[in-house]
Amino acid sequence: MKKLAIVILVSLFSNGLFAEDDWGKTGHRVVGEIADNYLSKKAEKEISKLLSGHSLAYVANYGDDIKSDRQYDSFSPWHYVNFPFGEKYELNEKSDKGDIIQGINKCISVLKNTNSPKEEKLFYLKMLVHFMGDLHQPLHIGLADDKGGNDFQVRWFSDGTNLHSVWDYRMLDSYEMSYTEIAANTDVLSKEQVKAIKSGTVIDWMYESRALCEDIYEHTEIGEKLSYKYMYDYMDTLRSQLQKGGIRLAGLLNEIFS
Ligand code: ADE
Ligand code: ZN
Ligand code: ZN
């Protein structure tokens, strides 16, 4: 009986059921919902056809959902990129298994290719929505040593957890707003501000997350108890990252479906 329990536990862990490594469901949905608000008419129509009327928020967690299916194991390294602080992504050897930059570029190229079958476009559209969320989670532009903060133990209020999870979902859970409420309460931006956020490349946006990641490491200690003060210091950063992710996702989609 004991043996059976151990076998079940080991298989749950290895299947990733307990491995927390993404914006929780809320974060990804917020990015999808915000993007929906910035789509051009043309993009909205094309996307609605591909998604059979579902919203971007509805499909935003697909990239994580498929982790339960071995068939999709090769996509796991596409959710993040790790390289040392102070170094350039471009100068580091690229993982031949792919990373978040290569993943996003693949999604864009499939969606832009008029010869791509509809099923393939659908798959990569859902993946793009997901990866644009991950790109804006600072710990997804992390360090290999601690697996993007997954091995950086901290306390969140009275719970033992890790720094990666604090940024994936602990802060969002403690914030206690639904994804629609968060998306409806983003900062009001001028046209110029939106334009500035949309400008740049996927690589530029990746470096913004990297800078935040470096700041987070400077201000967090292993084993530290994080609670209200951490939320007070970082919740605006987190909200802003979700907003930028949504606006930039819409920018990419508007260009793809122009
Ligand atoms: N696994 C290894 N590095 C990771 C990262 N930066 N983010 C999420 N999962 C990871
Ligand atoms: Zn994560
Ligand atoms: Zn992910």
Q: Tens of pLDDT along 193-205?
A: 999 999 999 999 9
pLDDT tens-digit readout, 211-245 = 999 999 999 999 999 999 999 999 999 999 999 99
Percent of the chain topping pLDDT 90: 90
93: how many CB neighbours lie within 10 A of its CB? 6
Nearest CA to ligand 1 atom 5: 148
Domain chopping of the chain, boundaries:
23-62+96-256
Confidence class for position 17, pLDDT limits 50, 70, 90: very low
Q: Rounded to whole angstroms, how far apart are CA atoms 74 and 104?
A: 15
Nearest CA to ligand 1 atom 3: 147
Confidence class for position 255, pLDDT limits 50, 70, 90: very high
Ligand 1 in reach of 21 Cβ (< 6 A): yes
Ligand 1 in reach of 210 Cβ (< 6 A): no
Confidence class for position 30, pLDDT limits 50, 70, 90: very high
**How is residue 55 annotated by DSSP?**
-
Q: Give the domain 23-62+96-256 fold.
A: P1 Nuclease (1.10.575)
Q: Rounded to whole angstroms, how far apart are CA atoms 117 and 210?
A: 35
For residue 9, pLDDT beyond 70 = no
Tokens representing residue 209 in the block: 């997350």
- From the DSSP assignment, how many helices (H) and strands (E) are in the chain? 13, 5
* pLDDT for the residue numbered 24: 86
Cα of 242 from ligand 1 centre, angstroms:
19
For residue 171, pLDDT beyond 70 = yes
Contact 197, 244 (CB under 8 A): yes
pTM: 0.92
Nearest ligand to the CA atom of 172: 2
Ligand 1 in reach of 142 Cβ (< 6 A): yes
Contact 112, 256 (CB under 8 A): yes
Q: Rounded to whole angstroms, how far apart are CA atoms 200 and 203?
A: 8
**How is residue 219 annotated by DSSP?**
T
Ligand 1 in reach of 33 Cβ (< 6 A): no
